[in-house]
């Protein structure tokens, strides 16, 4: 299959993508069954997969850092782990599937001939998305980004939808555990509802706060209320030069600058030198939050950072 045909399949959202098929031994569950090996494209969604799958799954992450970057490829160790994957849990973003195709194409021909077919689980199905391409300042978005905002999981209200999609996908692989998967998803969702009820008054206290963020996904979190998040990217996955952003920040009322740990260090340095706005750092993924393992810990942390850093009113 040529690269052109592979990318065309990705653009159509085809979920039967090929991955390396030299199967490896899987860890076992408490009942002695082999655990399902699940590849996940986001550490935050991976945290939900672990809650829903419980002892029935073993997970690993395919990507590190921003999934919008143009050179996105599967991590080398994860590509090897795909050999034993029963499922791939992804965001529905074509850029992710294209990157997986590109990674597979780099394999030697002899290995590509031994490809298998894991089940693909699109957790974006029925999720609430921001209806504008938040990764572009000009409004033009390349085809692999046109599926919508890839950071919909930064809206905690999408957590229940993600959990239900995971439960449905895992149940197709292991029908006899369907009741367990959906019970786990429901328990996770009820706990998340309680967390959201706790966050909402804290966010109301931050209403009117204007935050310039180098990560474009925080507009999803703003669906809970509270601060307004402002961002600007010239191309998907590419930040505008720091001097240009500093001038933009100075041209509008901004109370706080929120920098992601994956943002190049020259941005925080330039903001600190060329603006009078306080610069703070908060991860947009549990992968970059030391010691974090739960989905909700990401939001606990950003609220804590915003509350402690907001200027007095």
pLDDT at 4 exceeding the cut of 60: no
Shortest CA distance to 95 belongs to which of 203, 207, 7, 224?
7
Mean pLDDT computed over every residue of the chain? 84
The tally of CA atoms less than 13 A away on the side-chain side of residue 75 is 15
15-64 pLDDT, tens per residue?
Answer: 334 333 333 345 665 566 799 999 999 999 999 999 999 999 999 999 98
- Rounded to two decimals, what is the model's pTM? 0.85
In this prediction, residues 204-231 reach a mean pLDDT of 93
Q: What percent of the chain has pLDDT over 90?
A: 59
State phi, psi for 200 to the nearest 5 degrees: -55, -45
Neighbours of 181 (CB within 10 A): 25
Please give the pLDDT value at position 29: 58
Please give the pLDDT value at position 23: 35
Give the alpha-carbon dihedral of 129, 130, 136, 137, to 10 degrees. 180
Radius of gyration of the chain (CA): 20
50-83 pLDDT, tens per residue?
Answer: 999 999 999 999 998 888 888 889 998 888 787 6
Please give the pLDDT value at position 239: 75
Domains of the chain and any CATH numbers: 3-194 (3.40.50.1980), 196-309 (3.40.50.1980)
Please give the pLDDT value at position 288: 95
Please give the pLDDT value at position 32: 64
In this prediction, residues 91-106 reach a mean pLDDT of 85
pLDDT at 238 exceeding the cut of 90: no
Q: What percent of the chain has pLDDT over 70?
A: 80
Report how far residue 146's alpha carbon sits from residue 15's, in angstroms, rounded to the nearest whole number: 17
Please give the pLDDT value at position 227: 96
114-130 pLDDT, tens per residue?
Answer: 666 789 999 999 998 87
DSSP code, position 28: B
């Amino acid at each position: 299959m040529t690269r052109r045909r592979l990318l065309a399949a990705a653009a159509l959202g085809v979920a039967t993508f090929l991955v390396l098929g030299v199967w490896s031994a899987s860890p076992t569950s408490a009942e002695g069954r082999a655990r399902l090996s699940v590849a996940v494209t986001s550490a935050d969604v991976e945290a939900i997969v672990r809650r829903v799958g419980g002892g029935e799954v073993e997970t690993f992450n395919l990507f590190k850092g921003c999934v919008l970057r143009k050179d996105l490829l599967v991590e080398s160790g994860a590509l090897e782990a795909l050999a034993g994957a029963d499922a791939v849990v992804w965001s529905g973003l074509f850029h992710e599937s294209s990157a997986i195709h590109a990674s597979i194409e780099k394999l030697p021909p002899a290995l590509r001939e031994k490809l298998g077919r894991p089940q693909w689980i699109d957790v974006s199905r029925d999720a609430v998305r921001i209806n504008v391409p938040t990764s572009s300042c000009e409004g033009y978005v390349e085809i692999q980004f046109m599926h919508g905002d890839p950071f919909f999981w930064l809206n905690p209200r999408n957590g229940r939808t993600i959990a239900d999609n995971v439960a449905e996908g895992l149940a197709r692989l292991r029908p006899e555990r369907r009741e367990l998967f959906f019970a786990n998803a429901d328990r996770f969702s009820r706990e998340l509802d309680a967390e959201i009820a706790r966050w909402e008054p804290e966010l109301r206290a931050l209403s009117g706060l204007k935050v310039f963020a180098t990560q474009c996904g925080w507009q999803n979190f703003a669906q809970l209320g509270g601060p307004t998040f402002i961002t600007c990217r010239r191309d998907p996955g590419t930040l505008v030069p720091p001097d240009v952003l500093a001038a933009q920040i100075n041209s509008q009322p901004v109370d706080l600058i929120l920098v992601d740990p994956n943002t190049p260090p020259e941005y925080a340095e330039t903001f600190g030198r060329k603006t009078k706005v306080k610069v703070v750092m908060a991860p947009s993924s549990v992968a970059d939050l030391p010691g974090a393992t739960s989905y909700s810990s990401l939001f606990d942390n950003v609220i804590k950072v915003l509350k402690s850093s907001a200027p007095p009113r």
